Amino acid sequence: MPKRFHEDGRLTAEGRAELARQGVEQPKPASRYSLTVVTSTACNLGCPYCFQNTEAALPGRFDPPRIAREVLDGAMIDKIAAFTEPRLRATGLDRLFVLLFGGEPLLNRWGCVELLKRLSQLAPLTASMVSNGVLLTPRVAGKLEAVGLRSVQITLDGPKELHDGTRFTRAGRGTFDKVLANCAAVQESTGLRLSLRLNTTAEGLPLLGGLVADLAERLDASRCNLDIAPVLNYDGMFDPVMKRSADDVDVLLRAYADALESGFSVGWPGGSACGFCGERDGGTGAVINADGTLYSCWETIGKPGYEVGSVEDGYQEYPADRWVSCGEFAVSATTAAQSQAFDDALTVGLLEMLRTRRRRLAAVEAAERTGAEKADRTAAPAAGPLAVTGS
């Protein structure tokens, strides 16, 4: 940003005017109607930090109590379609985006497939899924790809020794090798794109570089997005202990640089408002539990006191603070300022890294084009009148 636009970390009048002129602060209009649908609130893992846990597991156990068990069935799929259709038409949008969510959505594979089939009758559909990857076999992935699934988000909690200590089955078995073997097999048999979310604690921070290298060896990095996320402390049940310091930002940026050099895609920070919770009462999308209850955000699904309506009755009156947007539920007032400063520093560093990389790649492509043009001119015959010969 030009220096005349800011002073002592604040926008000048000229800077504010320029941002307003360019519309930088205005969210981009939605291009599709977005639905998050839970197919099963149950989960086959017992991650201690999960925001859907209601209490910590008992000592020596790996199965923390969770939100109420619900499973999406055929009758509810029809009700979800009936709820969605008029809202989709009212927005004037002609495309749907569906996020399959849980629990673990693949505990109800039938529900995943049937939901996408039914909603695709309303409008052209693109779907993604958040899964722990344990049940993501090539056969299952192929069936879902055939009805609109295009990407799957998979979470890893660090290299094997750390991942298996937090993302274990409800019987206590580690999942690292199983998840990566499934991901590799799915890449070989389908066109699905993987979004790898690397959950990170202070213990895992110095190991990120090694994890990125391991993933690049096991998977086709060119078909993977990669995102690094500090583990959040929901309801005080898990202490992530990351200090969110300037040193932590530097380590994360080095890991992102390693990922880019290994061929992974890294998303631009920021962007448009969330299609699910960006507008109240289903303006651009909705978050629907398996029993048809409406919530504002994936973070509050199944939590008593955060319901905002149902697919049968629509959105109801509710207290203003019940509408929670992405990230709000996990950050307390005492840590909000520290979290914002950390996020801002990481965003600035990542933006500069991506912009520098984009400029470098553009320069390389320009040089290659120039070289190709020179080679073409050298190889072409000299221009001039045709020589006519005869005997």
Q: Which amino acid is at 172?
A: G
Q: Alpha carbon 338 to chain centroid distance?
A: 23
257-271 pLDDT per residue, tens: 999 999 999 988 765
4-50 pLDDT per residue, tens: 777 776 778 887 887 777 766 666 677 899 999 999 999 999 999 89
Q: What is the largest CA-CA distance in the chain?
A: 104
Q: What angle do CA 86, 92, 95 make, to 5 degrees?
A: 85
- pLDDT, residue 333, reads 44
How far apart CA 48 and CA 235 sit, in angstroms, is 11
In which residue are the tokens 């969110």 written?
244
Domain parsing of the chain, residue ranges: 24-335
Find, among 103, 84, 120, the residue nearest to 39 by Cα: 103
Find, among 179, 245, 213, the residue nearest to 47 by Cα: 179
105-163 pLDDT per residue, tens: 999 999 999 999 999 999 999 999 999 999 999 999 999 999 999 999 999 999 999 99
pTM as predicted = 0.85
Q: Which CATH superfamily is domain 24-335 in?
A: Aldolase class I (3.20.20.70)
How far apart CA 50 and CA 119 sit, in angstroms, is 29
Helix (H) or strand (E) holding 77, with range, is: helix 74-91
How far apart CA 102 and CA 121 sit, in angstroms, is 23
